[in-house]
Amino acid sequence: PPEGGDITTMEGLKSTMHLFEPKHFIFPFFAHALGTLVGAFVAAKIAAGKKMLMALLVGLFFLIGGTVNIAMLGGPMWFTALDIIVAYMPMGYLGYVLAKR
């Protein structure tokens, strides 16, 4: 975390968000993207039918969670856009594609 940044509580994180640099957003982005990818992959693998639907539902649930998180926490616009556009539905679809092989 940045110097003087309190990340132990949601309030502390919200109040010190302005101290965060782009490097501090790398791991949260990868956590969102890889969590969605793995969840969608597993859902598509174990689904008996409608594998793409199951994978995209996982992506949708992660998207809803990510949107709520951004609404509560805030953050820079570039991270919000990157997170919403790249980390959820595309990773859900990629999870389906990888599971289909």
Does residue 39 fall inside a structural domain?
Answer: yes
Query: Is 65 a member of any domain?
Result: yes
pLDDT: is 89 or 7 the higher one?
89
What local confidence, expressed as pLDDT, does residue 94 receive?
97
Residue 50: the pLDDT is 94
Token pair of 25 as six digits: 């957003």
- Residue 80 in any domain: the answer is yes
- Is residue 6 in a domain? no
Q: Is 60 within a domain?
A: yes
Taking only the tens place, the pLDDT of each residue in 32-72 is: 999 999 999 999 999 999 999 999 999 999 999 999 988 88
Domain interval for residue 60: 29-100
Is residue 36 in a domain?
A: yes
Please say whether the beta carbons of 91 and 59 come within 8 A. Answer: yes
C-alpha torsion angle, residues 63, 64, 70, 71 (rounded to 10): 150
Least Cα distance to 83 among 21, 33, 27, 35 occurs for: 33
Q: Give me the number of domains the chain comprises.
A: 1
**Residue 20 DSSP label:** -
**Closest to 58 measured CA to CA, from 28, 80, 27, 34:** 34
